[in-house]
Amino acid sequence: MILIVDDKPENIFSLKTILELHSFPTDTALSGEEALKKILRQSYALIILDVQMPGMDGFEVAEAISGYSKARDIPIIFLSAVNTDKKFITKGYSSGGMDYITKPIDPDILLLKVKTFYRLYEQNRELNRIQASLRSEIEFRKKVEGELQERAGELHSILESIPQIAFTTRADGKIEFVNEKWLKYAPSKNAFPLTHPDDINLAKQWEKTVASGQALELEVRVRRIDHEEYRFHLLRAIPIREGDTITKWVGTFTDIEDQKQAVRKKDEFISIASHELKTPLTTIKAYVQLLDRQIEDEDPNKLYVERALVQVNKLDDLIVDLLDLSRIESGKLKFNKKLFRFDTMLSNAIDMIRQTYPDYTLIRKGEADIELYGDEMRIEQVIINYLTNAVKYSPDNKEIHIEAYTTSDDRLFVRVRDFGIGIRKDHQSNIFSKFYRVEESANRFQGLGIGLYICAEIIRRHEGEYGVESEPGEGAVFYFSVPMTDGPLLRPAQAVG
């Protein structure tokens, strides 16, 4: 808005008319005193000020305006019909004026000057807004940086207090902080701890981890700088994100050597115990089978012998699983891979389950009449385990579906579906882990939780994939797939002479 100050209403009217015709909003004052009151209450882009006024003249008004912090930067154009000599003009500028217009007023000159000052006012206002915004941004950044430094200090204090080797890195993976324990294992603050020659290269693995943006969990052997003994440590590193952006990484090395030794001793015990139990159990099983054959069907004792044989077979299966587990842990689980007729093996496995569980209906789907290259006994072990679990965990629904089919990319898929109790989503990722059992069913259904772990290892050794799909109360689908070209080229079973 433009303020017009003149003691003559006719002058104000003419100026107001010219400016408003060109869309400039105006305000007016008939004296210097009135103008000062309005300036205190209102912000103006420009003041057109008459010099010759009774009471306070234009120079006095301009000097008074220059004393107001709120108004001192408002440009002033003086209007005068007399005293246009150099001294008079100099006085106008020294009073705070920015320009001069003489009466009678030339409308074109007036508009040119008003447009210039108005544009400068708008630009100055925008610059002030930007400056205020920048100042606010700077203050905000300082506040955030202070908070980040405080949080970083707290994090560093925590990392210093924990017993693990700990570190943080920037988003690009460059180490920025290590605790004191780090320096007992690493040659410098910028290098990773010394690892066993047979273990993975930590520097290269770290580059891959940072590039992937995914958390890292890795068992690795490291040693103190002043020791020769390597100890197993669990390296965990997680990215710290702000929104979708990684800002830093935090990692720890936790000594797990004692736990590894305990697991190793446990595995040794399981292996020894399983072997020691296998021999007498085989003898007991042979005697019970012999006794079962000799007892007549009408003999009431035959029922008890048959029940004893069922329990002996369960114990035998358990020991076999424990032996397989021991061989897996020691890397001695042997595989005898060769071409075999998959369809024949699958039919035999299904018949075995039908005979063992005559109350259940097994429905076979799909076509997979091929010769597969793999360990026939181990693949059959996986299928029987899947079917046995389907029976065990669906006591109220006696129907089980098994589907086998091949795909265009030369893979064999096998799926076993039951309609039993199902598995919650949060348990499915661990269902193939060693000794893992779902809490809700642990008391209701017997087992050690190693069958699926062994199945997973068998499928892995066949370069295959495995998994489960399930909803609680709606049953489960356990599946696996293996490549058919891992070894001699596959061919249809009918082609075998």
For residue 245, give the H/E element and its range: strand 245-255
Nearest 5°: the CA angle 288, 290, 295 is 95
Query: What topology does CATH give the domain 260-330?
Result: Helix Hairpins (1.10.287)
β-partners of residue 43 are none
Location of each CATH 3.40.50.2300 domain in the chain: 2-127
In the chain, residues under CATH classification 3.30.565.10 are 338-495
Fold of 2-127: Rossmann fold (3.40.50)
Q: What is the pLDDT of residue 497?
A: 28
Do 1 and 42 meet the contact criterion of CB atoms below 8 Å apart? yes
What is the per-residue pLDDT for 443?
45
Rounded to whole angstroms, the Cα distance separating 356 from 344 reads 19
- Only one residue has tokens 């693990």, namely 164
- Residue whose C-alpha is closest to residue 61's, from 36, 26, 97: 36
In this prediction the pTM is: 0.47
473: alpha, beta or left, given left = phi > 0 and alpha = psi -120 to 50?
Answer: left
Tell me the one-letter amino acid at 410. Answer: D
Residues of the chain with CATH 1.10.287.130: 260-330
pLDDT (0 to 100) of residue 413 = 95
Reported CATH class of domain 338-495: alpha beta
Q: What is the DSSP string of 291-317?
A: HHHHS-TT-THHHHHHHHHHHHHHHHH
- Cα(247)–Cα(431) distance, integer angstroms: 34
Cis amide bond preceding 104, omega within 30: yes
Calculate the dihedral angle through the C-alpha atoms of 462, 465, 466, 469, rounding to the nearest 10 degrees. -160
CA 441 to chain centre: 31
Look up residue 184 and give its DSSP letter: G
Q: List the CATH code of the domain at 162-255.
A: 3.30.450.20
List all residues 6 or more positions away from 165 whose beta carbon is below 8 Å from its beta carbon. 179, 181, 182, 184, 185, 193, 222, 233, 252, 253
Mean pLDDT, contiguous 10-residue spans, the chain (497 residues): 88 88 89 87 86 83 79 80 57 64 82 85 83 87 76 78 90 91 91 90 92 92 91 94 89 92 77 73 84 84 83 76 68 81 93 89 91 91 92 90 91 94 84 68 55 88 92 92 65 38
Write down the pLDDT at residue 289. 86
In whole angstroms, give the CA distance from residue 263 to residue 259: 6
Start and end residues for every CATH 3.30.450.20 domain found in the chain: 162-255
**By the 8 A CB rule, do 171 and 246 touch?**
yes
> Pairing mode, if any, of strands 99-102 and 76-80?
parallel
Radius of gyration of the chain (CA): 45
Q: Is 429 exposed, middle or buried (0-12, 13-18, 19+ CB in 10 A)?
A: exposed
In 352-432, beta strands by DSSP E: 361-365, 371-374, 399-406, 411-418
43: left (phi over 0), alpha (psi -120 to 50) or beta: beta
The number of CA neighbours under 13 Å toward the Cβ of 182 is: 21
